[in-house]
Amino acid sequence: MKTIDQYSSLFWFIVGIAITLSSLKYGIGSLSQPGAGFITFFPGIIISLLSAVLFISSGKDHDNVSGLRDLWVGFDIKHVAFTILLLLVYILAFKPVGFVLSTFILLFVLFRLKSSYNLRIILVMSVVVTIVSYMIFALLLRTQLPKGIFEGII
């Protein structure tokens, strides 16, 4: 094995196979009567397939051999720490402020910090992602999301 991608893809292939076999052990069931292993069966297969593709493709590229140190080039601990801090604030604000506003603010700040788009595009992207995620979780999946300050409106 020549690249770090081959090592990591082999690890994820084994994890994917383990997930798939565990799902079979618990029973998949059917679409109308799903078993306990239904939800993990397909991700296990996908993980295995993608890791196999990565293993094969990384074996063909002999010119771009990289080591573990190359994975950390350009890593900025300040960005990671700030993102973790933002997620902690999001968790704390989620219930009192509500899903819609806290998610919009989180996305807006993250898009503003990490993208080169203008303010109007960032605003539209934040609104669209918040609305789509609300529609998926609240309307389609019927998940009870905290309404926060929008208690009487939504």
**Does one domain contain both 96 and 131?**
yes
Which stretch of DSSP H or E encloses residue 37?
Answer: none
**Does one domain contain both 140 and 87?**
yes
Q: d(Cα 27, Cα 13) in Å, to the nearest integer?
A: 21
pLDDT at 48: 96
Average pLDDT over residues 22-50: 90
> pLDDT band at residue 35, thresholds of 50, 70 and 90?
confident
pTM of the model: 0.59
Last residue within a domain, chosen from 22, 46, 72: 72
**Does one domain contain both 56 and 106?**
no
pLDDT at 66: 59
Q: What is the mean pLDDT of the chain?
A: 87
**Does one domain contain both 45 and 93?**
no
Q: How does pLDDT run across 63-88, given as a tens digit for each residue?
A: 555 566 666 777 788 888 999 999 99
Q: How does pLDDT run across 7-19, given as a tens digit for each residue?
A: 889 999 999 999 9
> Which residues fall within 8 angstroms of residue 87, CB to CB, at 6 or more apart?
106
Q: Measuring CA to CA, which residue among 1, 46, 53, 52 is closest to residue 19? A: 46
Sign of the C-alpha dihedral computed for residues 18, 24, 27 and 33 taken in this order: positive
**Does one domain contain both 135 and 121?**
yes
Number of domains the chain is built from: 2
**Does one domain contain both 87 and 143?**
yes
**Does one domain contain both 67 and 86?**
no
Residue span of the structural domain in which 125 resides: 77-150
pLDDT at 126: 96
Residues forming beta bridges with residue 29, ordered by sequence position: 34
**Confidence check: pLDDT of 89 > 90:** yes
**Does one domain contain both 12 and 61?**
yes
**Does one domain contain both 82 and 144?**
yes
